[in-house]
Chain A
Amino acid sequence: MTSADTVVRAKQSLVARIAARAGGGALRVVLILVGLLWLMPTAGLLLSSLRDPAEANISGWWKVFSDPGQLTFSAYDDLLGNQQITDSLWTTLAITIPATLLVVVIGALAGFAFAWMDFPGRDWWFLIVVGLLVVPVQVALIPVAKLFGEIGIFQTTTGVVLFHTAFGLPFAIFLLRNFFAEIPRELLEAARLDGAGELRLFLRVVMPLGGPAIASLGIFQFLWVWNDMLVALIFADGGNPPITVALQQQVRQFGNNIDILGPGAFISMVIPLAVFFAFQRQFVAGVMAGAVK
Chain B
Amino acid sequence: MSTATADGAATPGRASSAPPANGPSAKKPKSVMGTRPWLAAVFLLPALVLLGALVVYPIGYSVYRSLFDASGNGFVGLDNYQEMFSDDATKTAIKNNIIWLILAPTVSTALGLIFAVLTERIRWATAFKLVVFMPMAISMLAAGIIFRLVYEQDPDKGVANAMWVSVHDSFSESPPFPGAHPRPAAGTTESSSGAYTTNATLKAGSPTSLPLVAAKRDDISDAQDAKAAKPEAGKVTGTVWFDFTRGGLGKEGAIDKGEKAMAGLKVEAVKDGKVVGRATTAADGTYTLPAKAEGAQLRLPAWNFSEPYNGIDWLGPSLVTPAIIGSYVWIWAGFAMVLIAAGLAGVPRELMEAARMDGANEWQVFRRVTVPMLAPVLSVVVVTLMINVMKIFDLVYIIAPDPSKDDANVLALQLYQSSFGTDVNQGLGSAIAVLLLLLVMPIMIINIRRIRRESRR
Contact = CB atoms under 8 A, between A and B. Distances in A.
Interface of A: 27-28, 30-31, 34-35, 38-42, 44-45, 48, 58-62, 106-107, 109-110, 112-120, 122-123, 125-127, 129-147, 162-163, 165-167, 169-171, 173-175, 177-179, 181-182, 185, 188-189, 192, 198, 202, 212-213, 216, 223, 226-230, 233-234, 244, 247-248, 251-252, 254-255, 258, 261-262, 264-266, 268-269, 272-273, 275-276, 280-285, 287-289, 291-292
B416 A45 contact: no
Contact of B29 (A115, A132, A287): A115
Nearest to A248: B141
B150 A60 contact: no
Given A116-B29, A135-B59, A248-B398, A142 B430 contact: yes
Contacts of B391: 136-138
B115 A272 contact: no
Contacts of A130: 19, 447-448, 451
A189 B34 CA distance: 11
A283 to B, nearest CB: 7
Contacts of A248: 141, 397-398
B176 interface: no
Contacts of A136: 390-391, 412, 433, 436-437, 440
Interface size, B (range): 35 or more
Contacts of A166: 50-51, 53-55
Contacts of B185: none
A159 to B, nearest CB: 10
6 contacts: A44-B150, A134-B387, A135-B440, A142-B430, A227-B140, A285-B14
B142 A268 contact: yes
B113 interface: no
A127 B448 contact: yes
A196 to B, nearest CB: 10
A50 B390 CA distance: 36
Given A127-B448, A143-B65, A283-B137, A185 B29 contact: yes
A140 B157 CA distance: 40
A284 B13 contact: yes
Nearest to A283: B137
Contacts of A60: 156-159, 162
Contacts of A170: 51, 55
B139 A292 contact: no
Interface in B376-408: 384, 387-388, 390-391, 393-394, 397-398, 401-402
Given A38-B131, A165-B50, A289 B25 contact: no
Interface centre among B43, B150, B339 (most CB of A within 10 A): B43
Interface of B: 9-15, 17-20, 24-25, 27, 29-37, 39-41, 43-44, 46-48, 50-51, 53-59, 61-62, 65, 115, 118-119, 122, 127-128, 130-142, 144-150, 152, 156-159, 162, 330, 335, 338-339, 384, 387-388, 390-391, 393-394, 397-398, 401-402, 412, 415-416, 419-420, 426, 429-430, 432-434, 436-437, 440, 443-444, 447-448, 451-452, 455
Contact of B146 (A44, A120, A283, A285): A44
A140 B61 CA distance: 9
A207 B335 CA distance: 29
B379 to A, nearest CB: 14
B47 A118 contact: no
B417 to A, nearest CB: 12
B43 A254 contact: no
Contacts of A35: 127-128, 131-132
B118 A31 contact: yes
A131 B444 contact: yes
B118 A30 contact: yes
A217 B155 CA distance: 43
B281 to A, nearest CB: 28
Given A165-B50, A223-B137, A292-B443, 17 more contacts: A38-B131, A41-B146, A44-B149, A115-B29, A118-B30, A127-B448, A135-B55, A139-B436, A143-B58, A213-B17, A229-B139, A230-B394, A230-B416, A255-B157, A273-B138, A288-B17, A288-B339
